[in-house]
Amino acid sequence: MTERIAIVTGAARGIGAAVARRLAADGNAVAVIDLQEAATAETVDAITAAGGRAIGIGADVSDSAAVASAVARVADELGAPTILVNNAGILRDNLLFKMTDDDWDLVMQVHLRGAFLMSRAVQAHQVEAKWGRIVNLSSTSALGNRGQANYAAAKAGMQGFTKTLAIELGRYGVTANAIAPGFIQTDMTRATAERIGVPFDEFVAATVQQIPVQRAGVPDDIAAAASYFCSEEAGFCSGQVLYVAGGPTS
């Protein structure tokens, strides 16, 4: 297969790391982007140890200059990027009456502004290549979730953003799709358990009772979906939101 150059944001750990490893296993060279370059080392090392090509880059995806610099570095060191997975995200959960301006703004900046800046930068390479794949990470929280007004709004916004990218970029051979994970065992969900004062094992057990397949998700579940959306075979699938949640969502 033709080697593609992929960028995965927020890829130092959790879902992003799993996606980066999977895309590398699929034969792509991968740029692992996270806020601190040192944090990307584990993911990069795992890819290179398995025989893949990868570099780690530290960048704040909500900063336009940092994004431009990161994408230029990818093009210089790996090649022109044509696959982009916008996974970078943060949590600043709180009930509406306790949520601060900064809680709201930071979540919007990282999720939505970050996805916008990265997509705008990478699409130039995709259009030139007349081929591209963009995958945005949404969430079942886009349907509404107590204590997550900011996160839910951002993840719902990611779905509208994805569908618009699909419309605008389709004529250039670029697809855009979103993955909306349900409950996935990561550091972020562990932080949620801590926020509400419940031991993580109990939090997982209680959540699993509500999932039809009777298990929690793991990052590799999301990586498998990303693998398909980034593949050659997914060229006629665009503008879609795939809920990877162990059962139907309303």
Contact 154, 111 (CB under 8 A): yes
Cα separation values, 63 from 15, 32, 68, 69, 232, Å: 22, 17, 9, 10, 31
Unique residue bearing structure tokens 């509404």: 144
* Dihedral of alpha carbons 61, 159, 236, 230, sign: positive
Cα separation values, 165 from 16, 67, 135, 190, Å: 21, 18, 10, 32
Rounded distance, CA 184 to CA 52, Å?
A: 26
- Active-site positions? 151
Structure tokens at 206: 């209680």
Q: What angle do CA 129, 134, 136 make, to 5 degrees?
A: 165
